[in-house]
Structure 1
Amino acid sequence: MEALRESYLFSPPFAAMNDPMEAYYETGGPGDRIVNAMFAPAGLKVDIMYEMLSDMINRFALVSFSETYENLPMWAYYGSNFAGMCLEFDTADLMIGDFQGEKLRPVTYARNALPSLTVADMGAQHLEEAVIARITRKRSEWAH
């Protein structure tokens, strides 16, 4: 109720979400040994890059919307076992306010998580898409 009174959308940290695969990602890959060898003269390791990436991802927020209010399993999961309420948002209005400059992304459902993020994913454009693909993915059992 506080979110309604104070007019904000609640976004829990990823670790508090109910699907263990929600916003799940890992880092590291087979090429890390080569990168570490290149970084060794400077006393650096690829782990520093992965720590920076994890710090960035952990600052993200995820707010979920649905295209319909008539999905009974969703009411059971997210509406306090059918005791909750439904709020309707106009996505065009959201884009004017706090979500200005943000993109609404659909959730993808899959049986398995995507592969680890590696140094190869850290190109400017590719990194954004690689991270978004992981934080918008849920296990297929949650699809409704």
Structure 2
Amino acid sequence: MLPPRLYKYEPFTTRSLENLKAQSIYFGPPSAFNDPYDCAFVPNIRRPTNDEVEAIRAAYLRAPETPPIARAQFEGTGTDELREILLRSARSALESSVKAFLARRGVTCFSEQCDDLLMWSHYGGRYQGFCLEFDPAKGNFGRIQKVAYSNELPLLDLVPLLASDNYEQVLSLFTTKAEAWRYEAEWRAVHAEAGTLYGYPSECLEGVYFGPDISDHALEIVCLILKGQNETVRFWKGRRSSTTFKVEFESFTYMSYMEARKAGLR
């Protein structure tokens, strides 16, 4: 079940401003991620039992698309030898899948929270950027997946992977991270091609949270962009708490220089 809000931290860069103006989200290559394991590990495969090996053999022999050479090997190979062949084949296939994913796919990441100190430091331009607040119910977030965290690499089962064409286990590899990253409370979406933009409806973006160290000029640029295309978006200015280690946010209303002048305030 999707959370009520999802947040995307952004540094104040030319690309982030262009994406904001285009009302689009950038899907970058996972090879640029700061976690060396992220989308780049090959999992362990549980050794199948004799019964499971025989189930895989039977599934391939039943399948009309099994090539004659492979069919002969399945028919003439003993259980122990077939188990090793299946394990080698599965490992090779998974390695190829991971390499292809890193080379071609695009990934974009969100968080369930907007006030995490490490997130602001790592992804919010060291407190000088901003964080976008999305309502997933108002946009096409149906294929986004929650990241799972673990201290151990995933252990995949060979039977559902080979006997029933169930590739959910493989897909889960790209939404699994080390326990050390749990603070990110991450959700992610995958695109078929890296370096692409995905547009979202303006009403999907409900708020913008500004880092406590963002400059006044940078804040005004973001506000000007959004006031020209989203009348309902809310703005929140961050500041360092004086009592706890956290960023606190206060809502504010932005008025451009021309609006203030027309209203007689400048």
Above 0.5 in TM-score?
A: yes
| Aligned residues between the structures | 131
CA contact (8 A) 1:107 1:138 kept: yes
Gaps of 5+ in 2: 1-16, 58-68, 73-87, 184-266
Please state how far the C-alpha of 1:40 moved relative to its aligned partner: 9.9
- Letter of the 1:4 counterpart: L
Query: Compared with structure 1, are the counterparts of its residues 75 and 28 closer, same or farther at alpha carbon in structure 2 (3 Å cutoff)?
Result: closer
CA contact (8 A) 1:11 1:62 kept: yes
Q: Does 1:139 align with 2:178?
A: yes
Query: Compared with structure 1, are the counterparts of its residues 113 and 27 closer, same or farther at alpha carbon in structure 2 (3 Å cutoff)?
Result: closer
1: distance between equivalents of 2:43 and 2:157?
A: 5
Please, which of 127, 130, 139 is the counterpart of residue 169 of structure 2? 130
- Letter of the 2:38 counterpart: E
1: distance between equivalents of 2:95 and 2:151?
A: 27
Match of 1:74 in 2: 119
Greater length-normalized contact order (CA 8 Å, ≥ 6 residues apart): 1
2:161 match: secondary structure = helix
1: distance between equivalents of 2:157 and 2:124?
A: 34
2:119 match: secondary structure = helix
Match of 1:107 in 2: 147
Gaps of 5+ in 1: none
1:132 match: secondary structure = helix
1: distance between equivalents of 2:43 and 2:178?
A: 19
Please state how far the C-alpha of 1:56 moved relative to its aligned partner: 5.8
- Letter of the 2:127 counterpart: F
CA contact (8 A) 1:109 1:140 kept: yes
CA contact (8 A) 1:28 1:50 kept: no
CA contact (8 A) 1:21 1:113 kept: no
- Letter of the 1:90 counterpart: D
Give TM-score, length-normalised by structure 2: 0.40
CA contact (8 A) 1:108 1:138 kept: yes
- The 5 Å alignment of 1:22-33 reads 22-26=38-42
- Letter of the 2:22 counterpart: E
Please state how far the C-alpha of 1:81 moved relative to its aligned partner: 1.0
1:26 match: secondary structure = coil
Match of 2:22 in 1: 6
Please state how far the C-alpha of 1:112 moved relative to its aligned partner: 2.5
2: distance between equivalents of 1:5 and 1:24?
A: 32
CA contact (8 A) 1:13 1:61 kept: yes
Say which one has the larger Rg. Answer: 2
- The 5 Å alignment of 1:53-64 reads 53-54=97-98, 57-58=101-102, 59-64=104-109
Give TM-score, length-normalised by structure 1: 0.68
More strand by share: 2
Match of 2:36 in 1: 20
